[in-house]
Structure 1
Amino acid sequence: MLRRMLAAAAMAGALGLGSVSPAAADNGVVCPAIGDCSVGVTVPGKPGGTTTSDTGTGGSNGSRRCQDTLLNVEVPCYLKDLGWWSPNCYFKVMEPQPPAGDPAWQGHKPGDGAVYDAYCPDEGPPVQWRAAPPPGMDGGVDPAQLAAEAVRRLPIDGPDIGIVPEPGTTGVVGMPVWLWNRTSPRTWGPAAESVSAGGITVTATAHVSQIVWDMGDGHTVTCGAGTPYKESEGAKESPSCGYRYATTSNGDEGNVFWVTATATWDVHWGGGGQRGDLTTTRSSQVQLRVGEVQVLGQ
């Protein structure tokens, strides 16, 4: 017991417990020496250019108090170099995680739980595998929340619409319409973004899985990237993404159809010993006028 108390006292002296003033860590974590901790991630707004409601805002995990139950003293809930307190050790997700087959996994596979760096005054093992985050870390940074922030920051837009007939011209009922996406990392992927806080970094990677075209007349078309139109194609149909209007746009608002292309982005994220998949969408619009062929009598 005396050895444990001396070790804990030595740790307190080395870390300055009871004498360190509140400070802000590099990753947006604010903790006083003893007492409350709070975590905030602030993300700048996403550049405009597409019809999407995503904006970048951060949040906080609130506050909590942490205690060394062996010595019955309060300790910082979070320390930058050591991680989060979970009686009676500081835990920090090892970044990067060890490769498959590393003894630290204790026979488990990467993604099955996580490996943590541990600092234990009671001389616990310095590297530990856990199936779930140690108790107390749930008051810290949630990798899934960081993933949501990373998704909001992804440099992705709605499709860069290619369409023939082109906006500003008039199409004809029954004639082929070509639809495609002018692909780039912002409009097709892959695109990636990382967000860090509390010693955890989460990276989200996204690519488009499909584009749904709302043609403005009550019908939709689902495609991939589509095929760009070339003058040499003449009046041929698109081999991959096309449409034919059965009615004119006369009578619709502005006498045009609003064509809306909505891209579904599949997102895979990983970090903090966790991983997951989700989807998000981005949309773009153009106006298209469609008329009828006028036949003049002799």
Structure 2
Amino acid sequence: MDPQPPGGSALWEGHDPSEGAIYVRVCPALQAGAGVAGVGTAIAGPQVFWAAQAPAANVDPAQLAQEALDKMTLLGPDIGITPKPGGQGVVGMPVYMWTAQTAETYGPNSASASAGGVTVTATAKVKRIVWDMGDGNSVTCTTAGTPYKAAFGKKASPDCGYRYSEPSSTQSGGRYHVTATSTWQVDWQVNGGGETGQLAATRNNAVNIDVAEVQVLN
């Protein structure tokens, strides 16, 4: 504790200040059902105690990895899609899906956390993006996708695409609600070698698009 309490404080538990010192500790503990990948961090209240010698730090590298992950800004995909929201696509035409590749939306994204002389560095990268197309089907892409260009014409996306078989007018609200969910793989390592591990995180984003059916005139 800094500063140490005065000599007459009850915190000394009857000990003479020359015999030791008053310490404060805060103990992180993992609890299920919260935070990233179903695991969250609960912090117990500060504990004040007397000790004759400074207690040795008991550092959990996995906990430091979680703290490093918590420092990162990880976002859902920065969605690019054809047809664009506000525009209109056509049944049977290729749909392109992609995300902007930034540290926050695709990685790599890194951060470190330290305690008791131990430093852990965690690096997060998107492993896959699952696109829920809003019609009951989904597409899993292991790349960031290819942004559409007019020169591609009617060619299908080479790595992350789809085709609707029905117009969005069949849906409630008249649009397809497309949700993109990215799974981040977080690899961590104790600096200087030693223990390693892995965490996971998910983030999502969504847009609405219109898809029409071509009307044929006789």
TM-score range, shorter chain: 0.7 to 0.9
CA contact (8 A) 1:185 1:191 kept: yes
How big is each residue's C-alpha offset from its partner over 1:204-229, in whole Å with a ceiling of 9 and x where there is no partner? Answer: 10111111111011111111111111
CA contact (8 A) 2:179 2:206 kept: yes
CA contact (8 A) 1:248 1:290 kept: yes
Q: Which residue number corresponds to residue 201 of structure 1?
A: 119
- Residues in 2 aligned to 1:278 and 1:76: alpha-carbon distance in whole angstroms: 32
- Residues in 2 aligned to 1:187 and 1:193: alpha-carbon distance in whole angstroms: 15
Q: Which residue number corresponds to residue 159 of structure 2?
A: 240
CA contact (8 A) 1:249 1:291 kept: yes
Give SS of 1:218's match. Answer: coil
- Structure-2 change in CA distance of 1:61 and 1:276 (3 Å): farther
Greater radius of gyration (CA)? 1
CA contact (8 A) 1:155 1:192 kept: no
- Residues in 2 aligned to 1:195 and 1:258: alpha-carbon distance in whole angstroms: 38
Task: Give the TM-score taking structure 2 as reference length.
Answer: 0.76
CA contact (8 A) 1:66 1:76 kept: no
- Residues in 2 aligned to 1:155 and 1:75: alpha-carbon distance in whole angstroms: 39
CA contact (8 A) 2:95 2:163 kept: yes
Q: Which residue number corresponds to residue 200 of structure 2?
A: 279
Give SS of 1:250's match. Answer: helix
- Residues in 1 aligned to 2:133 and 2:71: alpha-carbon distance in whole angstroms: 29
CA contact (8 A) 1:40 1:59 kept: yes
Q: Which residue number corresponds to residue 153 of structure 1?
A: 71
CA contact (8 A) 2:23 2:49 kept: yes
Task: Give the TM-score taking structure 1 as reference length.
Answer: 0.57
Higher alpha-carbon deviation: 208-217 or 271-280:
271-280
Whichever residue aligns with residue 38 of structure 1, its letter is R
Of the three residues 183, 205, 212, the one matched with 1:264 is: 183
Structure number with higher relative contact order (C-alpha < 8 Å, ≥ 6 residues apart): 2
Equivalent residues, number: 191
Give SS of 1:150's match. Answer: helix
Return 5+ residue gaps in structure 2 as ranges: 6-16, 29-34
How big is each residue's C-alpha offset from its partner over 1:186-211, in whole Å with a ceiling of 9 and x where there is no partner? Answer: 22211101122333322110111111
Q: Which residue number corresponds to residue 99 of structure 2?
A: 181
CA contact (8 A) 2:4 2:22 kept: no
Shift of 1:147: 1.2
How big is each residue's C-alpha offset from its partner over 1:39-74, in whole Å with a ceiling of 9 and x where there is no partner? Answer: 378xxxxxxxxxxx76x977248648686xxxxxx3
Q: Considering only aligned residues, what root-mean-square deviation do their CA atoms show, in Å?
A: 2.8
Question: For 1:1-298, what aligned pairs fall within 5 Å after superposition?
Answer: 21=4, 34-39=21-26, 59-60=43-44, 63=47, 74-77=52-55, 84=56, 137=57, 140-223=58-141, 224-271=143-190, 273-297=194-218
- Residues in 1 aligned to 2:68 and 2:96: alpha-carbon distance in whole angstroms: 34
Shift of 1:294: 1.3
- Residues in 1 aligned to 2:146 and 2:169: alpha-carbon distance in whole angstroms: 28
CA contact (8 A) 1:38 1:60 kept: no
CA contact (8 A) 2:79 2:97 kept: yes
- Residues in 1 aligned to 2:81 and 2:43: alpha-carbon distance in whole angstroms: 41
